[in-house]
Every structure is written in structure tokens, then in C-alpha cells.
A and B are shown apart, each in its own frame.
Chain A
Amino acid sequence: MKLEDYELGGTPLRSSDIKKGNVLTTSWEPNLAYAWDDGVAIGRYLAELKNGRIIGRTCYKCNRIMIPPRMFCELCFRPSDEWVYCKDTGIVNTFSICHINWDASRRGPNEPPLIPAVIEIDGASKGMGILHMLSEVDPDDIKVGLKVKAVWKNPGERTGSITDILYFKPLRAPTKRAKATKKRAKATRKRK
């Protein structure tokens, strides 16, 4: 058989066909809201975020500190062992500079790009990261391996949420020399 010998199904429409009513449609807005139980591990994780601390959980058998914390170790499949505080610093494992919102709409000209990153948290086992945002940093200064530190909401504004950390920012401001190098690099790029 060859695909070319068949008349294939699938009738393409334009979005204007729907807007103008060239084809009939019906629509539905689901009215669904959820309350997801935090459970023991994430419940404590969120409570500690409210206190301005990041907490993990150890597995003695696998010799690792897990973040986000979990009450069982998925590798050796036994209960995890102990709570342990991690630092609120870490290193950038990877990052993106994002110009769209969650619904794929474009960010406006005056909205800075979002910078999501995987941040390996200091005090957790190597490679153990969380998803969070970077800010107070020029996108050109971000590199994999950059040391960063959490910027917290004021204690009174925290609600026990991952967003109690506003974002992570570089641990150190870029040195004068790095700034100068960057300026030169930018100028060269412009000339090209």
C-alpha cells in the first residue's frame, strides 16, 4: 500500500471558520475546582516555607537528602528517615528566558521575560533541584552553574506556598571586570 493512493480524511478549518460561524460549534467551560491534600511531606515543606526555610528529607539507605521532601524513598521503597533543613541557596542547573505566558499568549513589550530555572538546592544531594524563577539578574549574566539565593516575601505576607520564595537572585553581584567584558561583548555583537 502507498499513502499516496488513498484519499486521506481530515478537513482543515481556519480559526475564522469558527469565529464567523461557517461551521457550527458548541462550547463548554468546565466548572471544576480542586483541593489537593498536601499530605505529610509537602504539608511540612509548605509550613517551613512560611517560616522562611527549605526542608528536605533523608534516606539513610540510599544516603541522600531529597527535595521536595517525601515520606518514602522511591528508589529503595522504604519510609524515608529524617527531616533536614537545606540552605536557601543553590546553583542553576539549567534555565530558560521565556517570552510567553502559561496560555501561550505573548508577554507585553513592557513585561520582562520570565526566567524559569532548575535550581539545585545547597544541602540536598547533588542534582536534587526544584523548579523556580530567577530575577534581579541580566539574562546575559546567567550561566549554568551560577550560584543563587532565595528572595523571600516578607514574613507577614507568606502563606505557606512555593511562591513564598519570590525568586532566586545571584548570590554575588557581577564583578566590575565581568561587567566590562560583557559590555565589550555586547558592543562587538552589535557591530556584527
Chain B
Amino acid sequence: MGYRKVAIVGAGITKFVRRAQETAKELAWQATKMALDSCELTLDDVDCVTLGTAPDAFDGVHMKGEYLADGAGAFRKPYMRHYVGGGTGIFSPIHGWFHVASGMADICLVVTEEKMSSCYPHPQGAFITIFDHTTEQPLKPTLIWIFALEMNRYMSTYGISKRDIALVSVKNKKNALDHPSAQLGGEITVDDVLNSEVLAWPVNRLDVSPASDGAAAIVLASERVARRLTDKPVWIDGVGFSLDTAYWATRDLCYPTYVENAARMAYDMAGITEPHKEIHVAEPYDPFDYKELHHMEGLMLCPKGEAARMTADGVTQRDGNLPTCPSGGALGVGNPIAATGLMKIIEIFLQLRGDAGKRQVPGKPRCGLAQAWGDLMQVGTVVVMRI
């Protein structure tokens, strides 16, 4: 097809913290400046900027795209903001990819930021508004309900236990100990997860990623420019995104069809026919521990209902056959919504370059994948990358 090849050539990230002193703009600048410095570019080299950030209601800043523009390096440049809830961070590089693949730009900055700590009494108060205002909000829902309902449906359908699922949290929080941005890295056990406070059964406190402040940024370049900038460009070989119905209670919650659709789109573009063999390292979205399993199945990295067994067998550990969330994921590194997805992209970028330090998975991976999920649990976004 008529796209140009697009590479990631630089990356930047802040620490993920529960409450940052920096303003949203300052966080965005810290990550963006680091991304430019990492590939020795200046703002003058940048043709256009895209920005991913979740609802204005988190930061309490309307027109958040415009508010963040100077920190994202966007003044006096073509600039676009995009937003698909939790799926935003993986949609961001896709959005940037369009700019470069189309030939419109040679260098595109992709910036993501979230500052959830501004929101009181709790960011959950903003989440409530994603439920239908007339038929659902009067029941006073919390976002955790839909996760709990989905997790129960998933467990009931495939006969999976909480113990099986808790292994994901244990793995990701441990992996996060090696990530310099991590908010919640730690050595915990399955029993710690099971004995942590029950929020909304089957969801316990340690099944859940935290609310976070943070920012992440990458630099995308066309093939000609990328080869000049670095001898280790990481190519975006496939992108996919798909949305399911907002009548979320009317579809089967045990399987994320929208993730499968997004994955098929990305795999087709990347020429991948056997994802479980061809993908060497993956960063599925893990805002809750069962979501990593759910998404591995949607990504067709394993048969339906099998992700828990794969996890128990150690296949998804860093030294396993198919490492998942070697970064530590949203559960361990933290979950500043839009920035989380881009953190995952950055992890695959570093893993494929062999630059992941203590987090490096063995065996020189050559093909990786990052995925996110969001909106009212119905959007899937997928990026396949190769070195």
C-alpha cells in the first residue's frame, strides 16, 4: 500500500507519581524535551505535533489540548489532539504515524500527558460521566463496577480463579522494580493480592493500577530521516484500532472482540499470520490484572481462556517464551491514562533496541507489540513494531 515507512527514533518519559508538583504543561515539557534530546533534535526540526490526553475532566482544564500545546512543543506548528479514553496512549503513535506515513511530515512529535491528581474527591467522580447519564448514572456507578462485572464474566466463562489472575499483578509489580519511572514496583505474593482490601468483588485493591500523574513522548521520523538520525530505528510496521458498541451491557464481556479486530488490522499490515510465534515481546494493557489476560486472548497470543495457564507456566515472565509487560505495566509503573500507552510503546522501542537495561528480555527480540484499551470498555488500539 502507499504508506511511507515510519520509525520511532527517540523517547522521553517522566516518573509516574500519584501527585506531581509539576503542572501538566511542565510534565509534558519534561518528557518532550527528553525525547528530542535523546535523538539530538531541536524544536526547529519538528514538522508537526500530535497530543494524546484523556478527558478534560481529569485535569480540570477545558481545551486541554490547547492548554498543553506549549509544553508539547506545538506553538506555531500543525497540531492535533486525539482521545480514545484508556486506548489513547497507543492511539497516539498511530495518530503520529498517519502524519509521517502520508508524507505530510518527516518528523512528528507524539506527546501524551495526564494529571489525574487535580481531580477531587477522586478521579472516579469524572469517570462517572462516561456512563449513560439517563439510564445508568442514577444508579451511582463507579468505574470499578464495569471492571468487576467484566472480570466476573471472564472468570465464570472460562473457570478461572482469582488466584490465577493475581499472578499478573505479582509479575508486573516485580518487573516495575527495574523501571526508573515506576510508582508501584514491589515484591508481592499472590496471597498479598487476595488478602488486600476487596473494593468490588472480584476486584481487590492489588488487582488495580493506581491513579497517576505523568507524561511520555516519542519522536517519529520518515525512513530517510530516521536512517540519518540513528542506526537503531524501530519501525512501526502495523497499526490497528477498533471500537465496539457503547451499549456495553448488551455484548458478551468475556471476550474483547474490538481488540481482536484492532489486532487483525495491525497484523495484516505487518504481514503477521501467527502472532504467538512472530511476536517476541508484548505490552498488553493492564489497568487491572485480568485485563492483561483478556487482552492476550484478544491479541490472539493464545487461545481463548488460556492466558491464565500461560501465565502460571511462566511463559509471560521476562525470561519466558512470550514476555508480557516487561516494563511493569500500568499495575507497576503506574497509570496516567494516555501516558501509560506511550510508556508501553517506549518499552517495546527500548526492548527491540536492546536498550532496556535490567528489564531487557533475552534472545534479541525483533518484533514487539503494544496494546491499549479504553472508552467505555470498547476500544482497542494496537501497534506492531520491528527492528
A99 with B128: CB separation less than 8 A: no
- Residues of the A chain whose Cβ atoms lie less than 8 Å from the Cβ of B198: 97, 99
- Are B20 and A118 closer than 8 Å at their CB atoms? no
Q: Known A42-B134, A96-B149; judge A103-B122 contact (CB<8 A).
A: yes
User: Which residues 49-75 of B sit at the A interface, judged by CB distance below 8 A?
Assistant: 60
Q: Are B249 and A130 in contact (CB under 8 A)?
A: yes
A11-60 contacts to B, CB under 8 A, are 11-15, 17-18, 23, 28, 30, 34, 36, 38, 42, 45-46
A95 beta carbon closer than 8 Å to chain B? yes
Asked if A10 contacts B199 (CB within 8 A), the reply is: no
B60 touching A13, Cβ below 8 Å: no
Quick check: is B189 within 8 A (CB to CB) of the other chain?
Answer: no
The reply on B180 being an interface residue by CB < 8 A is: yes
**Complex interface: chain A residues within 8 A of B139 (CB):** 116, 131-133, 162-163
| B3 contacts chain A at the CB level, 8 A cutoff | no
Q: Shortest beta-carbon distance, B177 to chain A, in Å? A: 13
Asked whether, in the complex, the Cβ of B30 is within 8 Å of the Cβ of A96, the reply is: no
A2 to B355, CA, bound (A): 5
Q: Which A residues lie within 8 Å of B153 (CB)?
A: 93-94, 118, 144
Task: Point out the residues of chain A lying under 8 angstroms from B26, CB to CB.
Answer: 9
Interface contact B125-A103, CB-CB below 8 Å: yes
- Given A10-B27, A12-B17, the answer on whether A94 and B180 have CB atoms closer than 8 Å is no
Among listed B7-15, B167-175, B263-271, B285-293, interface-contacting one: B7-15
Complex CA–CA separation, A67 to B17 (angstroms): 42
Could you say which of B34, B132, B152, B180 contacts A4, with CB atoms under 8 Å apart? B180
Interface size on A, residues (CB 8 A): 57
Interface residue tally for chain B (C-beta within 8 Å): 71
Q: Closest approach, in angstroms, between the C-beta of B88 and any C-beta of chain A?
A: 19
List of B residues within 8 angstroms of A14 by Cβ: 19
Instruction: Decide if A102 is an interface residue (CB 8 Å cutoff).
Output: yes
Asked if residues B152 and A103 are in contact (CB atoms below 8 Å), the reply is: no
Stretch from B101-109, B200-208, B302-310, B364-372 contacting the other chain: B200-208
A161 at the interface (CB under 8 A from B): yes
Q: Are A96 and B148 in contact (CB under 8 A)?
A: yes
Chain A residue, CB-CB nearest to B251: A127
Q: Which of A12, A97, A101, A162 contacts B15 (CB 8 A)?
A: A12
B39 partner residues in chain A, CB cutoff 8 A = 1
Contact of A42 among B13, B135, B145 (CB under 8 A): B135
Cβ of B144 < 8 Å from any Cβ of A? yes
A105–B199 Cα distance when bound, in Å, is 10
Q: Judge whether B150 is part of the interface by a CB distance below 8 angstroms.
A: yes
Residues of B within 8 A of A100 (CB): 142, 144, 199-200
29 contacts between A and B (CB under 8 A): A1-B39, A1-B355, A6-B12, A8-B34, A9-B22, A9-B30, A9-B31, A9-B34, A10-B22, A10-B30, A11-B21, A13-B17, A13-B21, A14-B19, A17-B19, A17-B21, A94-B153, A96-B202, A96-B203, A98-B148, A102-B140, A104-B124, A116-B139, A116-B145, A144-B152, A144-B153, A162-B136, A162-B138, A163-B139
9 other contacts beyond A1-B355, A66-B250, with CB at 8 A cut-off? A8-B15, A9-B34, A36-B133, A67-B250, A68-B132, A102-B142, A116-B149, A131-B249, A162-B139
Q: Which 9 A-B pairs have the closest CB atoms?
A: A9-B30, A96-B148, A10-B15, A10-B14, A98-B200, A94-B153, A97-B201, A12-B17, A9-B14
